[in-house]
Amino acid sequence: MENVKDLLVEIKEKSELIVDLAYSAIILDSEDLAKEVEKLEKEISELTYKIRIVSMLAANTPDEAEQLAGILQMADSSNNLANAAADIAYLLDLDITARPFLPSLFMKADEKIHVVKVYPNSSIVNRTLGELNIEVESGVRIIAIKRGRNWIYDPEDHVRIKADDLLIIRGTEDGYEFLDRVARGEESWD
């Protein structure tokens, strides 16, 4: 059986990812991303359930149960966040004419979500995310990578960027513009 700490780390990571994916789904009008949000919502709900079970089994005394109450509150908060993110993604079910206000809301944000296509002549092709350290170097975070029909969500440092990848990023406008130039091969990463 998993321990509470591992479950909390997993639920925290998935909670951060689901918010990014929900906003990305709306901005990019992507049913694929909305489906992933729905899937993540279910996974977070299952993690919340597991945390409850593990916490109940761990509490042997009223004092221990009281100490675990904070963990349960945190898990419930993550579950509520996941539900709210899913509600955001469900906006895609509305007719496009019923949601004209959404793009203007997102355009006012300090950090924006963009899609960057990686061209074969780019200096980032076949390099790992860890090697590039994109978030530190450019101020943007890669939320997901679309590779053909497949998606890589919350990519880890060992993931290599390939030609024709679509990078779903969140960050500053300057960071986006720099990464876009590099991805097009107009500027070198190094």
- Structural domain contains residue 189: no
How confident is the model at residue 66, as a pLDDT?
84
- Structural domain contains residue 104: no
Residue 44: Cβ within 10 Å count: 25
How confident is the model at residue 2, as a pLDDT?
74
pLDDT band at residue 145 under the 50/70/90 scheme: very high
* CA gap 149, 32 in Å, rounded: 10
How confident is the model at residue 107, as a pLDDT?
59
CATH number of the domain bearing residue 178: 3.30.70.1450
Looking at the structure of the chain, the number of domains it has is: 2
Question: What range does the domain containing 82 cover?
Answer: 4-98
Q: Alpha carbon of 189 to those of 125, 135, 137, 140, 172: distances in Å? A: 10, 13, 9, 14, 17
- Structural domain contains residue 19: yes
- 21 plus 70 within the same structural domain: yes
The pLDDT tens digits of the residues spanning 73-117 come to 888 899 998 988 888 888 777 666 655 555 555 556 667 788 899
How confident is the model at residue 178, as a pLDDT?
95
Residue 63 burial by CB count (10 A; 0-12/13-18/19+): exposed, middle or buried? exposed
How confident is the model at residue 1, as a pLDDT?
57
49/64: higher pLDDT? 49
CATH number of the domain bearing residue 31: 1.20.58.220
The pLDDT tens digits of the residues spanning 122-138 come to 999 999 999 999 999 89
The pLDDT tens digits of the residues spanning 147-165 come to 998 889 889 999 999 999 9
How confident is the model at residue 40, as a pLDDT?
92
175 pLDDT exceeds 80?
A: yes
Q: Which residues pair with 168 in a beta bridge?
A: 115, 144
The pLDDT tens digits of the residues spanning 9-34 come to 899 889 888 988 888 887 777 888 88
How confident is the model at residue 96, as a pLDDT?
61
- Structural domain contains residue 180: yes
pTM of the model: 0.71
